[in-house]
């Protein structure tokens, strides 16, 4: 069922996308800032996370993280590449790129919104981001026969800026001004949603003319994106079978909320326009699937792990 925060998030997300497409020129003022906005976004979504505890939990969850990363970065994109070659031949490479990218920086926010395990999602975000510079080029070379390079140093710089710096600030505030954490938590959701809107205003203007010129292509690509999102969620549920209930929904979030902004930039350098287009329109199911994911979690009966 819909909750108030769900409706606010969906309204802001799709309203900002529509505004960026209809009024691209005024919205271009936000184009230089998505990376810095995401740093602020993650800072607010790290407020409830105790990173010292996470470091202790990493060893306990090492096997689960290995299995999830194997599914997320290798098995799932390989299977979907084969499926796309049979069902959507022109989408084979776009599907491989989108499916094989790391968990996205918005995933902890979605996990928090769904009241699931933010810790597992955050671990998947870090681990998959460290592995994807090696796995994705290898997958593209082996399956698509294309040679591309995704710089490990660039990914480390990205992680340092977008994840580690907000995390370090969070640790310092928690250590020296714990009272400030409580105050910031009161505005966490409002600020996070506002940042999502501003990020959309910064990303979508440069695609506005393409959206207006190719409505048929857009509609087909959106259909593919929603189909992929459903598959990602279901595989995430199944890959975490036997884990505690909160971790199952977290598995779905870590699989379905990927770094589509990264793959948009990456695919635009090496591939035809359909690859970045699929990554861009994945923003629609990225947020629209939040409510169905919660309903699916509520209605599926899982065995209780021993």
pLDDT tens profile 254-264:
999 988 877 77
- pLDDT tens column, 227-238: 999 999 989 988
pLDDT at 304 over 70: no
- Quickly state the pLDDT bin for 178 (edges 50, 70, 90): confident
168 within some domain = yes
Would you tell me how many other CB atoms lie within 10 Å of the CB of residue 190?
12
Long-range contacts from 142-151, C-beta under 8 angstroms, 24+ separation: 143/78, 143/81, 143/96, 144/81, 144/92, 144/93, 144/96, 146/93, 146/270, 146/271, 148/266, 148/270, 150/266
Question: Which pLDDT score, from 0 to 100, does residue 24 have?
Answer: 92
Q: Which domain holds residue 15?
A: 4-299
pLDDT at 167 over 90: no
Question: Which pLDDT score, from 0 to 100, does residue 49 have?
Answer: 74
Q: Which among 75-84, 160-169, 232-241 has the top mean pLDDT? A: 75-84
306 within some domain = no
Q: For residues 62-86, give the mean pLDDT.
A: 90
End-to-end Cα spacing for the chain: 30
As separate numbers, helices (DSSP H) first and strands (DSSP E) second, the chain gives 20, 0
Give percent of the chain with pLDDT exceeding 90: 20
Question: Which pLDDT score, from 0 to 100, does residue 33 have?
Answer: 87
Both tokens of 4, joined, read 């108030």
Greater model confidence, 80 or 14: 80
CATH number at residue 82: 1.20.1530.20
Q: For residues 203-208, give the mean pLDDT.
A: 82
pLDDT at 29 over 90: yes
Domain count, the chain: 1
Question: Which pLDDT score, from 0 to 100, does residue 297 have?
Answer: 61
Give percent of the chain with pLDDT exceeding 70: 87
pLDDT at 303 over 60: no
Would you tell me how many other CB atoms lie within 10 Å of the CB of residue 304?
8
304 within some domain = no
Q: For residues 57-64, give the mean pLDDT.
A: 73
Question: Which pLDDT score, from 0 to 100, does residue 302 have?
Answer: 47
3-state SS, residue 306: coil
What sign does the CA torsion over 39, 43, 49, 51 have? positive
pLDDT at 306 over 50: no
- Quickly state the pLDDT bin for 198 (edges 50, 70, 90): very high
Between 86-95, 176-185, 201-210, the lowest mean confidence (pLDDT) is in 201-210
Model pTM?
0.79
305 within some domain = no
Greater model confidence, 265 or 220: 220
Question: Which pLDDT score, from 0 to 100, does residue 77 have?
Answer: 94
């Amino acid at each position: 069922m819909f909750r108030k925060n769900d409706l606010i998030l969906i309204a802001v997300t799709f309203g900002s996308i529509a505004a960026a497409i209809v009024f691209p020129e005024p919205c271009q003022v936000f184009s230089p800032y998505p990376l810095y906005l995401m740093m602020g976004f993650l800072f607010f979504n790290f407020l409830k996370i105790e990173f010292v505890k996470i470091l202790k939990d990493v060893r306990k969850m090492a096997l689960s993280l290995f299995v999830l990363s194997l599914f997320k970065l290798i098995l799932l994109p390989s299977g979907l590449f084969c499926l796309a070659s049979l069902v959507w031949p022109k989408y084979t490479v776009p599907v491989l790129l989108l499916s094989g990218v790391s968990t996205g920086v918005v995933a902890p926010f979605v996990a928090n919104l769904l009241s699931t395990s933010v810790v597992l999602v955050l671990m998947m975000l870090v681990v998959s981001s460290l592995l994807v510079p090696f796995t994705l080029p290898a997958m593209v070379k082996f399956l698509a026969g294309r040679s591309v390079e995704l710089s490990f140093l660039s990914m480390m710089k990205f992680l340092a800026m977008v994840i580690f710096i907000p995390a370090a600030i969070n640790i310092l505030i928690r250590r020296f001004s714990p009272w400030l954490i409580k105050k910031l938590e009161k505005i966490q959701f409002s600020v996070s949603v506002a940042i999502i809107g501003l990020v959309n205003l910064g990303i979508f203007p440069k695609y506005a003319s393409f959206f207006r010129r190719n409505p048929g292509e857009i509609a087909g690509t959106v259909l593919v994106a929603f189909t992929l999102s459903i598959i990602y969620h279901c595989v995430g549920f199944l890959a975490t079978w036997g884990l505690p209930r909160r971790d199952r929904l977290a598995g779905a979030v870590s699989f379905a909320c990927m770094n589509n902004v990264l793959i948009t930039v990456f695919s635009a350098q090496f591939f035809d326009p359909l690859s970045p287009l699929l990554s861009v329109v994945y923003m629609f199911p990225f947020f629209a699937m939040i409510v169905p994911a919660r309903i699916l979690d509520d209605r599926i009966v899982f065995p209780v792990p021993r």
